């Protein structure tokens, strides 16, 4: 089943920068640690579905507008 996993990228860093938010501020908005935000932005962690919905709500976007397949990953 692991072979079916699709690498995911996100625009969190860009969206956060557009609002002049620090990672700490975004973490507060999401109810997670700054380290979690850092891992999300770096692509080291994929959010749970509830967290993805929270992220989308905070930015006023859909999940698909924030998270997308990484077609460049092999």
Domains of the chain: 2-69 (1.10.260.40)
pLDDT of residue 4: 72
3-state secondary structure of 70: coil
Residue 8's alpha-carbon distances to 20, 27, 28, 65, 73, in angstroms, are 24, 20, 23, 12, 9
Q: For 69, phi and psi rounded to 5 degrees?
A: -60, 145
pLDDT of residue 70: 84
pLDDT of residue 64: 96
For the chain, list residues with pLDDT below 50. 1, 74
pLDDT of residue 1: 44
Rounded Cα–Cα distance for residues 59 and 55 (Å): 6
What are the pLDDT digits (tens) for 43-59? Answer: 999 999 999 999 999 99
pLDDT of residue 2: 57
- Beta strands per DSSP E along 7-58: 8-10
Tokens (6 digits) for 47? 């959010």
């Amino acid at each position: 089943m692991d072979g079916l996993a699709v690498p995911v990228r996100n625009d969190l860093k860009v969206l956060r920068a557009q609002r002049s938010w620090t990672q700490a501020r975004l973490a507060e908005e999401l109810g997670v640690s700054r380290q979690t935000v850092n891992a999300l932005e770096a692509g080291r962690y994929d959010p749970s579905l509830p967290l993805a919905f929270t992220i989308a709500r905070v930015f006023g976007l859909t999940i698909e507008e924030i998270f997308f397949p990484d077609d460049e990953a092999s």
